[in-house]
Structure 1
Amino acid sequence: MASSAQLKARGFLLIASFFAVLIAIFMPLFPGVHGGKVNGLDYLDNFFNQLSKGSAYYIQDQMSKAQKVAGQEFATSMKMKTTEEAALTAKLFTTNGIPAEIDETKVKVSGDFGAMLTIMLKDADLMYHNDGAAIAAKYGVDERKVLLSWYNSLSAMEKDLTKAEKFAQAKLVKNCMTKAIEPAYNYYKVEAKPVKAEIVLLVAALSFYVIYTIWYGFGLLYLFEGLGIKLNH
């Protein structure tokens, strides 16, 4: 049976080493994606983003669905938040040969429904594969602004189509937003990595999380018991 002094010493060592490791985690000691050093949280955040990116690719599937409605005519009026946003939205459509009329913050477009979605999905595919330069060169606008504008356009379009009770088209628009535009934007400049290739680091990271949590818990347990405080359920 350990004495109170031994329990306090054991608890203090565990707590002190826990915070020493915590300080190290927040220091720029780990390799960054674009060179230089980053802290442990940024390093692991990027690591898990790289692993999850590979499982978030649904763009080809959405393209196949868009091709099935190729030739289907549509017309919609999208209400944007500002006149600047409306102007950018209209520019993206007209650059791709789709007529767009601006009425203050509203943008009216019409044409081939499948072709329109395919244009957006191709831009999303470029963004997903980190080729934002091609998008910026095409529109003369920062690639992130382009994808954000497409997202906002689809969001407004979904509302208008739902209001008109065109539920099948609204559903397809919603899927293009959430399964193509959104992940392409969120994972931009993240290099996708297969889980199998990084399984050792993945297991090590998850194991460390569990051990590190237990480490802190036992440190408190020994320290409190050394002080005569009993922890009960």
Structure 2
Amino acid sequence: MLITNQKLFNKGLMLMASFLCIFVSLFLPIWGGHGNGLDAADNMFNRLSKGSSYFIPGVQKQALELTGKSVTVTAKVKDAALAGRAVQNLVKAGATAEFKDGAVTYSGDLGTILTAALADADDLFNDRGQAVLDRYGMTEKNGEKTIAKAWWVVFDASVKELQKQKLIQEAKVVGQVNKRGLEPGYNFYGIASEKVLDNVLPLVGLLVFYVVYTMWYGYAIFDMFGGIGLGMGKPKVKSEA
């Protein structure tokens, strides 16, 4: 390799070596807790995301507006285990339900059913999983998450069925219960909730580190290539004789 500028090349090599040292350290469990640097950053962003993802009270108001609205829905559910759990959920909510020929057919007060599902979602979101288990008399490991997943599966299949019945607003609310109630409750279960305003300095620090670290790598490559004569510059203009 022909080095035309040893000083510039050495500078780039030093930048690349230090970049790689930090890069490797990000995968080592030396950043506190039980994970590496990437885990620590991911956990922080998950906590901040949870702090700004509590939409359940608003969806509960929409569900309450459907109280007294009786529906009969046949929702196709492929997973027999989840279908059976969904039937138990629905019966607990006061509906009549059965699983037959790959579908859960249920009848009942839609507002009451959705409110029951949102109560489970709210408990999960606020890390009260035992309350969900006690409500259904379950003792299985991760049973609280199975309950929420069963609700999600039957509601997901119910949206199109309600639309076919021209119950557009009802279908919309059911979709909201899934997206803004059950999904956040399920996904953020067991994760601490923190506000962005309480973590401004760590958040800004991570963003600044990301920008600086990216430039760090770029300058390392730039200087190393410049050291072997592959730099960027204006082409020389030949003077005519």
- Shared fold (TM-score, shorter chain, > 0.5): yes
Equivalent pairs: percent with the same residue?
33
**2:66 and 2:170 in contact (8 A); partners too:** no
Cα distance in 1, alignment partners of residues 80 and 101 from structure 2: 6
CA deviation string 1:56-83 (max 9, x = no partner): 1110000111111111111111110132
The runs of at least 4 aligned residues of structure 1 exceeding 6 Å deviation read none
The answer to which of 119-128 and 83-92 deviates more is 83-92
Contact 2:56 2:181 in 1 (8 A): yes
Deviates more, 1:158-167 or 1:193-202: 158-167
TM-superposed CA distance for 1:85, in Å, is 2.4
| TM-superposed deviation, 1:5 | 0.8
Whether 1:213 and 2:210 are equivalent positions in the alignment is no
Distance, in Å, in 1 between the alignment partners of 2:113 and 2:176 is 14
Contact 2:93 2:112 in 1 (8 A): no
Larger displacement relative to structure 2 (10-19 or 68-77): 68-77
Following the alignment from structure 2 to structure 1, what is the Cα–Cα distance between the partners of residues 127 and 82? 24
Q: CA deviation at 1:102?
A: 2.1
Asked if the contact 2:94/2:108 (under 8 Å) is kept, the reply is: no
Q: CA offsets, 1:8-35, max 9 Å, x none?
A: 1100010000000001100011223xxx
Are 2:8 and 2:226, in contact at CA under 8 Å, matched by a contact in 1?
yes
Q: Choose 69-78 or 215-224, whichever is displaced more.
A: 69-78
Per the alignment, residue 238 of structure 2 pairs with none
Indicate the residue corresponding to 1:15 in structure 2.
16
Instruction: Work out the CA distance in 2 between the residues paired with 1:199 and 1:219.
Output: 30
Is residue 202 of structure 1 aligned with residue 214 of structure 2?
A: no
Q: If you compute each CA radius of gyration, which structure gives the higher value, 1 or 2?
A: 2
Q: Quick one: which of 72, 86, 95 aligns to 1:98?
A: 95
Q: For structure 1, which segment, 11-20 or 129-138, has the greater mean C-alpha deviation from structure 2 after superposition?
A: 129-138
Does structure 1 residue 63 correspond to structure 2 residue 73? no
Report the 3-state secondary structure (helix = DSSP H, G, I; strand = E; otherwise coil) of the residue aligned with 1:13.
Answer: helix
How much does 1:204 deviate? 0.4
Structure 1, residues 147-182: CA drift from partner, whole Å, max 9, x if none? 111111110111211122211111110111111111
How far 1:232 moved relative to its partner?
Answer: 6.0
Alignment partner of 1:38: what SS? coil
SS in structure 1 opposite 2:114?
helix
- Select the residue among 98, 103, 108 that pairs with 2:105: 108
Number of positions where the alignment pairs a residue of Structure 1 with one of Structure 2: 227
- TM-score, normalised relative to structure 2: 0.90
Task: Please list, as runs of the form range in 1=range in 2, the aligned pairs for 1:35-46 lying within 5 A after superposition.
Answer: 37-46=34-43
Matched residue, 2:156 = 155
Structure 1 counterpart SS, 2:154: helix
Q: Aligned with 2:151: secondary structure?
A: helix
TM-score (norm 1): 0.93
For the 8 Å contact 1:86–1:104, the answer to whether it is kept is: no
Q: Determine the C-alpha separation between the residues in 2 that align with 1:82 and 1:232.
A: 63
Structure 1 gaps of 5+ residues are none
2-structure distance, mates of 1:188, 1:85: 19
Contact residue 83 and residue 104 of structure 1 kept, 8 A: no
The equivalences for 1:38-187 within 5 A come to: 38-139=35-136, 140=138, 141=140, 142-187=143-188
Match of 1:225 in 2: 226
Listed as ranges, the gaps of 5+ residues in structure 2 are 235-241
* Structure 1 CA distance for aligned equivalents of residues 84 and 39 of structure 2: 37
TM-align CA RMSD: 1.5
3-state SS in 2 of match to 1:30: coil
Write the letter of the residue equivalent to 2:65.
Answer: K
Q: Which amino acid aligns with 2:125?
A: Y
